[in-house]
Amino acid sequence: MFRFFFSRPVSNQISSTLIRGSIFGGLFLIGFGLLVFVLRDLFAFLAAAIFFLAGFSAIGYGIRMWIVMYKIGKNDKAYRDNVTIRYED
């Protein structure tokens, strides 16, 4: 009865899956490396564009934080309307 479920050893099935994944992964890496080699100008442009956009994003974030800190410093009481401090003697 159990021979039907275990007709193929599990270790052989796992090994064949790992071998197949290793071969396809290696072929994918070789193909991607060849693509980068052939289209290096395109990939260099894409990397430069990513760094360019990241730089503008960082500058924008810094400016927004500076504006928020300026507004908090200018109107210091606006963020403390409902706050009361009590000291027990």
At 49-77, the pLDDT tens digits run: 999 999 999 999 999 999 988 887 776 65
pTM for the whole thing? 0.50
Q: How large is the average pLDDT for residues 82-89?
A: 73
CB-based contact 14:21 (threshold 8 Å)? no
17 plus 45 within the same structural domain: no
**Domain limits at 48?**
41-89
**pLDDT for the residue numbered 1:** 47
**pLDDT for the residue numbered 63:** 94
Cα(76)–Cα(50) distance, integer angstroms = 39
46 plus 86 within the same structural domain: yes
29 plus 49 within the same structural domain: no
Asked whether residue 1 is domain-assigned, the answer is no
Among residues 45, 49, 48, 26, the alpha carbon closest in space to that of 34 is found at 26
Query: Mind listing the pLDDT tens digit for each residue in 5-52?
Result: 555 666 777 788 888 989 999 999 999 999 888 999 998 999 999 999
